Amino acid sequence: MWRAGKQPMRAAAASTADATPEATPERVVRYTYLAHEERWDIDHGMLQLSETEPFARGGMRASFKAHELDDTGARTPSVLKLFHADVTALAGAAPLTDAREYFQEAMCSSVGESYSQEFNRDCARAGGVARGVAVSFVPCSVVELVDRPGRVFATLEPLLEGSFLKLNDNDGHADEDAASSSETAQAFTYYTYVRSNQLLMVCDIQGVGGAFTDPQVHSFDGEGFGAGNNGAEGFNRFLRSFAYNALCEALNLPKPHQESDEEMARRLQEHEVQTAKEDNAWTTHRYQSELQNFMRETVRLS
């Protein structure tokens, strides 16, 4: 079944409410996945919304400017993102979105960052046109706004300053006007597809410079990774429009080809072996097990 994809974030109409330093700081519980340690970190903090209206809206979520406050009172510019159905929760209404959807979003960022580190190492080794190429994903946490009625969740990440570009999406499109950056984004997305043994694909690459935010992950079976996971159809849409470029060649990535039934069967068998051995690669099975166990045992959402 085709699923609604993420749409580019667009600036919302200017709010009549300026930044509101008088807004009451509120307590949050922050859940952050540490990919290199394969565990969730939990801490407590303070958050202050800077505005009452979103400054941008995407196809799935609305973005609000906020500040994280530390013990000294220092303020870190941040972005609080809620699914559209939950925006009214900031005004006291009950949240409507399954909290797991927020954890799915944060895990997509963790998967993207895990692959970006591999990509950067391979670019450094390859040299040539790959020399100096590097990408990263801003840290994305789930926060629970504990001073509000009900269990209100959102994602929180640092505010990116600068010219924001959407370089590719989860529907196979790429920004042809940002040639160099778009080629890097396309090569990275293809890299994740190849390095995952064609089981995953990190796309919806957007951000400022080489700092990206809010990626989407497609999986070969369409399982996990939130509502934007278009599964094998997402793979196919990307590959139909993908142009193998010099960066892909420098990284020694194979050119895409139509997979035979025999090749697919062999790859899926390798996937089963990989899962049985609890390999460190990001498989759908590993991803879902990590998230389900954490939600049940720690967040206590069955």
CA 286 – CA 184 distance, rounded (Å): 28
Query: What digits encode the pLDDT tens for the residues 99-113?
Result: 999 999 998 999 999
pLDDT at residue 267 in the model: 63
Hey, what CATH topology would domain 26-251 get? Protein kinase-like fold (3.20.200)
3-state class (DSSP) for residue 203? strand
Query: What digits encode the pLDDT tens for the residues 153-208?
Result: 999 999 999 999 999 998 999 987 777 789 999 999 999 999 999 999 999 999 99
Phi, psi of 69 (to 5 degrees): -115, 130
Statement: residue 64 has pLDDT above 80:
yes
pLDDT at residue 207 in the model: 94
Phi, psi of 136 (to 5 degrees): -155, 165
Give me the percent of the chain exceeding a pLDDT of 70: 82
Residue for token pair 């969730």: 40
In this prediction, residues 269-295 reach a mean pLDDT of 63
**Amino acid, single-letter form, for residue 293:** N
In this prediction, residues 123-127 reach a mean pLDDT of 97
pLDDT confidence of 38, banded at 50, 70, 90? Answer: confident
3-state class (DSSP) for residue 67? strand
pLDDT at residue 8 in the model: 47
CB 15 within 8 A of CB 53: yes
CA 249 – CA 226 distance, rounded (Å): 32
Query: How far does Cα 71 stand from its chain's mean position?
Result: 29
Element (H, E) at 107: helix 100-126
Domain boundaries, the chain: 26-251, 261-299
pLDDT confidence of 94, banded at 50, 70, 90? Answer: very high
Other C-beta atoms within 10 Å of 83: how many? 22
CA 243 – CA 231 distance, rounded (Å): 20
Average pLDDT, the chain: 85
How large is the C-alpha radius of gyration of the chain?
A: 20
Statement: residue 135 has pLDDT above 60:
yes
- DSSP for residue 251: T
Statement: residue 13 has pLDDT above 50:
no
Higher pLDDT residue, 117 or 294? 117
Statement: residue 15 has pLDDT above 50:
no
Q: Nearest-5° angle of CA 231, CA 103, CA 85?
A: 85
User: Hey, what's the torsion of the CAs at 172, 177, 180, 183, to 10 degrees?
Assistant: 10
